[in-house]
Amino acid sequence: MKIAFVIQNYNYNGGGQVTASLAKYLQSFGHDVSIIVIRCDKGDIESRPKNFSNVIDLYAPSLLSSVNKLSKIFRNSEYGIFICVGDYSNLTAGLAKLYSKSSSILIGSEHFGKSVLIGDYKKPLLRLSLPLYKLAYSQLNGLVFVSDSLRTEFLKKNSWHPSRCITIYNPVRSFRKKTKKNLDFNTTGITYLGMGVLEPRKRFDLLLESFARVARTKDILLIAGTGSQKQKLEMQAEKLGIKTQVKFLGYVDDVDKLMQASDILVLTSNSEALPMVLLEGLSAGLQIVSTNSFSGPAEVLDNGRYGYLAEVDNIDSIVSSVKRIKNKPIPIEAIEEGASRFYVNQIANKYLEFISNIMMSEGNINEAI
């Protein structure tokens, strides 16, 4: 089967990692797989996942050019199915399918908890774009959600048929037990880790503040990622008196190596659909503290079974959770059990099963399979 993934930008962020893992696994089973990249922003190519490189770049910076270029692909397509990654890809591919009058099978996916289709946005442009999104989504034949909570919220606000809306978690590689020996957190220095884009919704300011309140002399905090908040965060670290203990690493290519060198992963975001960093943390055997943001962390950590959950925007709760995990770490056997739910072979097989069900039925997202 010829399969094309459609993604806005193919880079080191979560969507790119998910797409690369799925594409590589499906290709290993004999499927002809390509990744169609809509925009390809500056720096995108340099930071792409290295494990899959069969890529078609459209270089389409605007919605109009995106729809136009995708329409040409739909008209001349030999692909059996298109799988869109994220709401912008759903939007452009849906409009392109409509414009090209194509009968191509199109499966969308929701990876972000701030979609126009469930948000109450103050910005007029986002409110006005809602009818366009609804029109585009009417062209989908199925829709994948990365968490049950996200699926439930969407179905409350949209009249899609539940049989065409399925939850499939993001994939990770198999469990990689830490080569670094488990530390006695009461006697040795701890390496804390924060990862993600340095943007406001990730709340790295709370990570710095919580580290300042729990850190001892030998503890260090590694922060991997790039973004607009870097300078502000560096200044905050200096004001908190932890400048020498915090290392801003920028973009990190070898995430596994970084996690193997760390002890406790802390995620302080305000919103996360299904955070890849938590999945990678579990698969690397890390102790994890995460804010219980909408919609994925509680599902990843099974409401506290595989890691500790803190309240969103609550520094006292984050600090308390970090102290608890230092005093009572999660057993490594439990962490491995938690990671096993996201292995790429299981996730890819769920995609193939859903694709098969969609291909055997006619109709769009509003009709029962």
CB atoms within 10 A of CB 90: 25
Residue 96 to residues 5, 93, 190: CA-CA distances in angstroms?
15, 5, 51
Please give the radius of gyration of the chain, using alpha carbons only, rounded to the nearest integer. Answer: 21
Q: Which of 90, 131, 142, 132 is nearest to 112 (CA)?
A: 90
Question: 56: Cβ–Cβ under 8 A, 6 or more apart, which residues?
Answer: 34, 35, 36, 37
- Which of the listed CATH numbers 3.40.50.2000, 3.40.50.10490, 2.120.10.30, 1.10.645.10 matches domain 2-171+343-359? 3.40.50.2000
Instruction: State the greatest distance between any 2 C-alpha atoms of the chain, in Å, as a whole number.
Output: 66
Q: What pLDDT shows up at residue 270?
A: 92
Amino acid 183: pLDDT:
47
**Of 189, 170, 119, 190, which Cα lies nearest the Cα of 296?**
170
pLDDT reported for residue 39: 86
Does this chain's domain 2-171+343-359 share its CATH topology with 191-342?
yes
Residue 76's pLDDT is what?
A: 87
**Low-confidence spans in the chain with pLDDT less than 70:** 41-46, 120-127, 174-175, 177-187
The secondary structure of the chain, three-state, reads CEEEEEECCCCCCHHHHHHHHHHHHHHHCCCEEEEEECCCCCCCCCCCCCCCCCEEECCCCCHHHHHHHHHHHHHCCCCCEEEEECHHHHHHHHHHHHHHCCCCCEEEEECCCCCCCCCCCCCHHHHHHHHHHHHHHCCCCEEEECCHHHHHHHHHHCCCCHHHEEECCCCECCCCCCCCCCCCCCCCCCEEEEECCCCHHHCHHHHHHHHHHHCCCCCEEEEECCCCCHHHHHHHHHHCCCHHHEEEEECCCCHHHHHHCCCEEEECCCEECCCHHHHHHHHCCCEEEEECCEECHHHHCHHHCCCEEECCCCHHHHHHHHHHHHHCCCCHHHHHHHHHHHEHHHHHHHHHHHHHHHHCCCCCCCCCC
Cα separation values, 150 from 23, 125, 131, 311, Å: 24, 23, 20, 19
pLDDT at 120: 63
Residue of 293, 299, 318 whose CA lies nearest to 208:
318
pLDDT at residue number 181: 47
pLDDT for residue 174: 66
CATH 3.40.50.2000 matches 191-342? yes
Residues 257, 275: Cα–Cα separation, whole Å? 19
Burial class (CB in 10 A: 0-12, 13-18, 19+), 331: exposed
Q: For residue 41, give both structure tokens.
A: 């922003």
List the domain boundaries for the chain.
2-171+343-359, 191-342
Main-chain phi, psi angles of 172, to 5 degrees: -135, 165
**Does the model's pTM come out above 0.95?**
no
Quick one: which of 286, 292, 280 has its CA closest to 256?
280
Q: What is the pLDDT of residues 230-248, one digit of tens each?
A: 999 999 999 999 999 999 9
* pLDDT of the residue at 179: 54
